Structure 1
Amino acid sequence: MKLFSKTLIAGMAFAASLTVAPLSQAATPDNQLVIATSLAQVLSVDPQQGTEPKTQEVLAAVYDRLVYSDDADKNTIKPQLAEKWDIDDTGITFHLRDATFSSGNPVTAKDVAFSLTRLLKLNQSASAYYKSAGYTAENIDSLIKVIDEKTFRINLTDKVTAEDMLYRLAMGISSIVDSVEVEKHVDHNDYGNAWLRTHVAGSGPFTLRRWVPNETVILEANNAFWGDKPAMKRVIMRHVPESQTARLMLARGDVDIANALTAPDVKSFTGKSGFKVEQVKIGGFYVLAMNAGRKPLDNPLVREALAYSIDYKGIANTILGPYGRQRNVPVPEDWAGAIANPDWSFQPEKAKKLLAEAGYPDGLTLTLKTIAQPPRVDIATALQANFAQVGIHIEIKQGNGADIVSAHRARDFDLLLPQATAIMPNALGAMNDFVTNPDNRLEAKNAGNFVWRSAWDIPELNTLRNQASSERDPAKRAALIKTLQEKFVAAKPAVLPMFESFAPIVLQDDVKGYTTNLWSLNRLEHVTKAK
């Protein structure tokens, strides 16, 4: 028989009240921020494991990184735990500020080394962003150095520039964990993963009070935080998968922010007194992933047929709206170095001809897997209707975040609707997910690699990406990136970018200082609620 303490029971009751509170409740307190969102993809709060956008929003509040990318200042890299850094021909040396973790332990260079080493040796999908830069579980120990308690150095490989390395260090996967605390919870050489999946050990402005999967995340202000004291005593993220419910909660003042609304519900607040709508360009894409390890999707002609079977403009106008726009090259069209879009459009007769040429004159039957949340379900339904017009019959299979992410990583799908994210705010960073696959073998088990999940073998593109990543000359690098985009389009990709994705959010007008980030790393310590 399990025994529960009164404190635990009280905490559970509090969380439950947040989850089922009626829509008629009073406006939220001045020192409490309540966000209606989707927590379906929050599967782990281990910063060296969880990579999904909503997970990043939690991680940004409870962890610090050495540096961060300031979206409001042209994505300039700025200090966080590192007060300053020195760049030379072979590496970067960081000088840390005085800071403590929420446990009271000081933040040291040992914690930085532990965190980055842990990232590579834990070998979760998050490590792919460092592997593509030449860092591995085998060489990481030789490439980092603890010089003293407040000085840390990382040497560059021949596959990465200092600028690109700084952007990787600004990602959520580079969060610095409390090595002293984590090492207390290591179980069977798991680097503390079992414990960190549901606990936090950070130095950020908030701590994690409670997380109930698919229900609630409760953050509380960290009294030991080294920076400005958060104005919000508590931040509550409520899982509200029904957009209409979230819209009503926002309209009645039950929540301060809604960031998982459908396009029509976002539009309903445009120009409405007391609310503001923001659309953030995040450098990501809604993607049609095709399993090139299965017939008939191993055939480039079939993949090309699918590309010509999609009414991109219609879906963008009627479904996506504030969530995105058509873009079939994996670089946002207004980023430096982006090439023009190919002529992919809804051309059913051309698609039928390609299918016949591929040996499928009578069409195909495929399954399409998607997470059950907007706007992906609506995109899936539209694709189903588009494909039917060229003889491709689609069965849609919806699931929660855990189900769909697992299927993607296991190559267990025909078609799937994931999102890709730029690892840097530049053309090469946007392309990284689409042109990186150093080892396509199943036994490589490289599930952290976006292309590997689609079993799309691209040695030429991968080699060209490596060349562009290591090229120090700006003009030569720009030429390589242009060629890389052109070859990607010509290859009839199995990871087809359909729409550049935006992040629309609706806020109560009194919420100030809430800013989104390229990687959903939304810091919350400067959020206030004006009278």
Structure 2
Amino acid sequence: MTRTGLGAIGALRVALLGVALSAVAVPAAFAETPANQLVIGTSLAQLLSLDPHQGQEPGAQEIIANIYDRLVATNNDGKVLPQLAESWEADDKGITFHLVKDAKFASGNPVTSEDVVYSIVRLIKMNQAAAMKMTAAGYTKDNVESMVHAVDAHTFRIDLSDVITADYLLYRLALGNTSIVDSVEVKKHDAGDNGNEWLRTHSAGSGPFTLSRWSPNEIVILEANPDYFAGAPKMRRVIMRHVPESQVERLMLERGDIDIANALTATDLASFKDRDGFAIQKVPTGGFYVLAMNAGREALSKPEVREAIAYGIDYDGIEKAVMGLYGRARTIPVPANYDCVVKDLGWSYQPEKAKELLKQAGYGDGLSLTLKTIAQTPRVDLATAIQASLKKVGIDISVQQGNGPDIISDHRARNFDLLMPQTGSYMPNVIGTMEQFSTNPDNSKEANNAGNFVWRSDWDIPELTKLTAEATLEKDPAKRCDMLKQMQQMFFDLKPAVLPMFERFNPIVLSDRVENYVGHSMQSTRLENVTKSD
């Protein structure tokens, strides 16, 4: 929907705000959430599937992280930690994992190495976008069954491909998409689809919680797994409420209707700064808010037009007016505090240069494009700010808002001019955050590689893809660092069709009743140790 006038969405906002304001007079003490339940106000707009081998959006990852376990996990310092594997050894040919012997799925079935084999094979053979990190590491439908081994009931081994090292593979195995599912339970619901239709809306994990209810764009309820092998969760229930309107979410937090708010606008976030009774966590993600440009469109196939857009965005002004705690201006897809960063690259707001580049490309009289975005904080306001900024250089932008399934489908189908996705990082280094911007092995339409971030923008980058693969395999730290810097320079020189604009943070506001909640950098926060004070 193009943003013109108040419209249906504006009317809905007014109605929702009116309801919320009418409730403010009710004393907060009457709205306090139960001590044994954690209630989170959030956006569920991107939630498409809770099958861990399919759902990969941030909202899905938060839920999957609590109903499933992986072999290993990571903390915010990037350290790899045990989860279902209590220990492991790596050699030049593979990694051997030793599973926790008393781990069980919520069904009561024991967790075995056969479940691990089934899960990884299922992930690869389903060939969804969620498999991209493993397929990029050399695991394919043709070879995966020969590369994963159940040595015995509690010993699992995975062979290394010729395009991955053991340390980088460990980080991939720590992602939510490599979660281990209950093979016995999933097979009961396999209707020729690997149980996908059933697992989209049910859980079959060994994690601290189980899925009790999911009503799209309304609510998700997780129930504690009392038999969790690492100890029963402190909360009996976790409730995630879909609250798309920031002002309503702010009022709900103030009144005590929710314990945590993680979908507030920058303005509403600022209202909680240094405020008694609340705390703000600014969680780094290693990812970015991105402007994806479809290089398959005639105008956007021209590097001059893509660079004009890059010079036509007022990054500093938008950071101050819109982004706030959500992001800081950064146009190279590597956080500035990482090692091996090239610090003197990037675009800035230079409108006259943008106009000249448009003229060189044959668009001196201007250009009209459509920008699609999920109707979610802060992307809606960011899209409007980009629209205003580019208008000043002669690019007329029509903004279309949509729900998660529609916008994500358009992105994967290359059905857009401009689109505004967000990225994350799977390990805290240049490869972990940049790989998705610098790899596209086969850009052909026939490849249908919708899981590849660059492919979606129809941007063919064979040389950068080759350099990324070489850097991933390089074991010498100094040589690898030089290659990582070359990657950043090449990315800049190619005038990317996937333009990072703002390094992405996930700001969360918590009631001071909430204890032991630590937001995870990959939006896979575990909740079993969260408690609430009276």
What TM-score do you get using the length of structure 2 for normalisation? 0.94
For 2:190, the equivalent position in structure 1 comes to 186
Contact kept? 2:78, 2:427, Cα under 8 Å: no
Q: Give the Cα separation in 2 of the matches to 1:136 and 1:424.
A: 22
For 1:487, the equivalent position in structure 2 comes to 490
Q: Pick one of 208, 228, 242 that aligns with 1:225.
A: 228
Q: Pick one of 32, 36, 54 that aligns with 2:37.
A: 32
Contact kept? 2:99, 2:154, Cα under 8 Å: yes
For 2:62, the equivalent position in structure 1 comes to 57
Q: Give the Cα separation in 2 of the matches to 1:178 and 1:343.
A: 46
Q: Give the Cα separation in 2 of the matches to 1:119 and 1:423.
A: 17
Contact kept? 2:281, 2:519, Cα under 8 Å: no
Question: Is structure 2 residue 197 aligned with structure 1 residue 198?
Answer: no
Q: Pick one of 309, 316, 321 that aligns with 2:319.
A: 316
Q: Pick one of 373, 389, 392 that aligns with 1:389.
A: 392
Q: Give the Cα separation in 2 of the matches to 1:518 and 1:256.
A: 20
State the shift of 1:341 in Å. Answer: 4.5
SS in 2 for 1:283: strand
SS in 2 for 1:280: strand
SS in 2 for 1:398: strand
Q: Pick one of 416, 424, 427 that aligns with 1:424.
A: 427
Q: Give the Cα separation in 2 of the matches to 1:213 and 1:195.
A: 15
Superposed CA offset, 1:145-173 (max 9, x none):
11000000001112111111110000000
Q: Pick one of 59, 62, 66 that aligns with 2:71.
A: 66
Superposed CA offset, 1:185-207 (max 9, x none):
1112x111111111110000000
For 1:102, the equivalent position in structure 2 comes to 106
Q: Give the Cα separation in 2 of the matches to 1:388 and 1:26.
A: 46
For 2:472, the equivalent position in structure 1 comes to 469
State the shift of 1:426 in Å. Answer: 1.1
For 2:507, the equivalent position in structure 1 comes to 504
Superposed CA offset, 1:316-366 (max 9, x none):
111001001011111100011111152511111111110010111101000
For 2:83, the equivalent position in structure 1 comes to 80
Q: Aligned partner of 2:424: which letter? A: T
State the shift of 1:489 in Å. Answer: 0.6
Q: Pick one of 150, 159, 166 that aligns with 1:155.
A: 159
Q: Aligned partner of 1:412: which letter? A: N
Q: Give the Cα separation in 2 of the matches to 1:291 and 1:343.
A: 20
Matches within 5 A, 1:77-476: 77-97=80-100, 98-188=102-192, 190-476=193-479
Superposed CA offset, 1:502-521 (max 9, x none):
00000001201111112211
For 2:50, the equivalent position in structure 1 comes to 45
State the shift of 1:488 in Å. Answer: 0.3
Q: Aligned partner of 1:338: which letter? A: V
For 1:15, the equivalent position in structure 2 comes to none
For 1:16, the equivalent position in structure 2 comes to none
Superposed CA offset, 1:55-108 (max 9, x none):
10000110000000011xx21101000000011111100000020000000000
Q: Aligned partner of 1:78: which letter? A: L
Contact kept? 1:329, 1:341, Cα under 8 Å: no
Q: Give the Cα separation in 2 of the matches to 1:369 and 1:482.
A: 32
State the shift of 1:430 in Å. Answer: 0.6
For 2:16, the equivalent position in structure 1 comes to none
Q: Aligned partner of 2:154: which letter? A: K
Q: Give the Cα separation in 1 of the matches to 2:348 and 2:92.
A: 46
SS in 2 for 1:450: coil
Contact kept? 2:332, 2:346, Cα under 8 Å: no
SS in 2 for 1:420: coil
Q: Aligned partner of 1:374: which letter? A: T
State the shift of 1:237 in Å. Answer: 0.1
Q: Give the Cα separation in 2 of the matches to 1:27 and 1:348.
A: 51
For 2:14, the equivalent position in structure 1 comes to none
Q: Aligned partner of 1:120: which letter? A: I
Q: Which moved more, 1:258-267 or 1:472-481?
A: 472-481
Q: Give the Cα separation in 2 of the matches to 1:128 and 1:197.
A: 19
SS in 1 for 2:307: helix
State the shift of 1:230 in Å. Answer: 0.8
Q: Give the Cα separation in 2 of the matches to 1:220 and 1:513.
A: 19
SS in 1 for 2:239: strand
SS in 2 for 1:448: coil
Contact kept? 2:346, 2:492, Cα under 8 Å: no
Q: Give the Cα separation in 1 of the matches to 2:150 and 2:491.
A: 41
Q: Give the Cα separation in 1 of the matches to 2:354 and 2:158.
A: 50
Q: Give the Cα separation in 1 of the matches to 2:183 and 2:45.
A: 29
Question: In 2 relative to 1, CA 30–417 (structure 1 residues): closer, same or farther, beyond 3 Å?
Answer: same
State the shift of 1:22 in Å. Answer: 6.5
Q: Aligned partner of 2:259: which letter? A: D
Q: Give the Cα separation in 1 of the matches to 2:508 and 2:487.
A: 33
Q: How many percent of aligned residue pairs carry the same amino acid? A: 59
What TM-score do you get using the length of structure 1 for normalisation? 0.95
SS in 1 for 2:151: strand
State the shift of 1:295 in Å. Answer: 1.0
Q: Give the Cα separation in 1 of the matches to 2:346 and 2:226.
A: 55
Q: Give the Cα separation in 2 of the matches to 1:513 and 1:169.
A: 25
Contact kept? 1:288, 1:495, Cα under 8 Å: yes
Q: Give the Cα separation in 1 of the matches to 2:344 and 2:454.
A: 21
Q: Give the Cα separation in 2 of the matches to 1:128 and 1:22.
A: 46
Q: Give the Cα separation in 1 of the matches to 2:90 and 2:467.
A: 26
Contact kept? 1:328, 1:341, Cα under 8 Å: no
Contact kept? 2:345, 2:489, Cα under 8 Å: no
Superposed CA offset, 1:364-398 (max 9, x none):
00000000111101111011111111110000000
Q: Aligned partner of 1:157: which letter? A: S
Gap runs ≥5 in structure 2:
1-18
